[in-house]
Structure 1
Amino acid sequence: MKLIEPTTERLQLRQWRDEDREPFAAMNADPAVMEYFPAPLSREESDAGVDRQMVHFQQNGWGFWAVETLADSQFIGFVGIKHVTDDMPFAPAIEIGWRLARSAWGKGYASEAAKASLQVGFEQLGLDEIVSFTVPGNFRSRAVMEKLGMVQGDNFLHPGLPQGHPMQEHVLYRLSAQDYRIARQA
């Protein structure tokens, strides 16, 4: 299986490396980065996330890529596409997602890397649709979704959170291959 590692004007999207674990754990421990998640992650939880991404890459050749800047090879977080878990109400599906270190915010990196991820999904993998989701109050991520041309769908209750949890409600966004192609031609 050929591994896919997109490059943009400023970013390298690549497989995970063991040296990513420490900066990824620091990012996941940052309360500002984790504001729209139930809690910051412990080092063990963060490492388990890296392990899951490495397995997804081994099985598919793509996933949530580790992202580094081309200028200085600095790890800044992840952006990419992956299979959603089977318990999601819209499964099976491929989601696009991102999480960047606070030092990388406000520079357009999420949108830049997400566009490259959509290109892989639609142009190389031939996907019919890509989804994304977040809590309703995460306006920064929602702005990226809308910038990508994604369309807001129905809200849903995230099955990974307990009933009544303040972050259980999520908003779903979708982008079809057809809408992606139309937007690329515009």
Structure 2
Amino acid sequence: MTELRTPRLVLRPWRDADLAPWAAMNADPEVREFLGEPLTREQSDASVARFRADFARRGYGWWAVEVRATGAFAGFAGLDDVDEDTPLTGVEIGWRLARHMWGMGCATEAARAVLAHAFGPLRLPEVLAVTAAGNLRSQAVMDRIGMVRDPAAGFDDPSAPEGPLRPQVVYRITPGA
């Protein structure tokens, strides 16, 4: 598994030591605000097992993110195939950071490293980003990394309950954009 480094972060394979802080993030209602209900420890651990398997199978996926200066777990960032139940196909970029990491530019920094990998070694023709219409913080990151909103591609997430999590917006970026 490729490791990505930025001035402040390391995007690396998941370690067993990441399971507890990852579960704490997934239990935080503010972190999960635009993702749905908080996850149990079992659900959170199962997600890491999927991340590891997907990365091994495809050669890309979700990296654990740590702070270079301290080695502290900060969240995740990476690439994933767009969910089958959405009206889109392709590869999606994403990130999720622990609340204490918000507002420092770390999501943008990690996302730029992921895009460089997507368009460099992986040679992807396009990367998408999908989020709840109300998730303005993630949309701001999408704007900062050069993604462009595609108003025609927005959709209602069939897996989300009726309400603010259902309407989704879509952003796109291609190499050299």
Q: Give the TM-score normalised by structure 2.
A: 0.94
Q: Secondary structure at the match of 1:32?
A: coil
Count of matched residue positions in the alignment of Structure 1 and Structure 2: 175
- Whether 1:102 and 2:119 are equivalent positions in the alignment is no
Supply the AA of the counterpart residue of 2:62.
F
- State whether structure 2 residue 122 is matched by structure 1 residue 125: yes
Deviation at 1:94, TM superposition (A): 0.5
Q: Decide whether aligned partners of structure 1 residues 140 and 166 sit closer, same or farther in structure 2, where only a CA change above 3 A counts.
A: closer
Alpha-carbon distance in structure 1 between the residues aligned to 2:158 and 2:41? 24
Residue of structure 2 aligned with 1:9, choices 7, 10, 19 = 7
Q: 2:63 aligns with which of 56, 65, 69?
A: 65
Partner of 1:174: 172
Identity over aligned pairs, percent: 47
- Which residue of 33, 38, 41 maps to 2:39? 41
Amino acid of the residue matched to residue 158 of structure 1?
Answer: D
Structure 2 unaligned regions, length at least 5? none
Partner residue in 2 for 1:86: 84
Shift, 1:165, TM fit: 4.1
**1:113 and 2:121 are equivalent in the alignment:** no
User: What's the C-alpha RMSD, in Å, of the aligned pairs?
Assistant: 1.2
Q: What is residue 156 of structure 1 aligned with on the other side?
A: 155
Letter in 2 for 1:112: E
d(CA) in 2 for partners of 1:107 and 1:115? 14
Q: Is the 8 A contact 1:15 1:57 kept in 2?
A: no
| Equivalent position amino acid for 2:160 in 1 | L
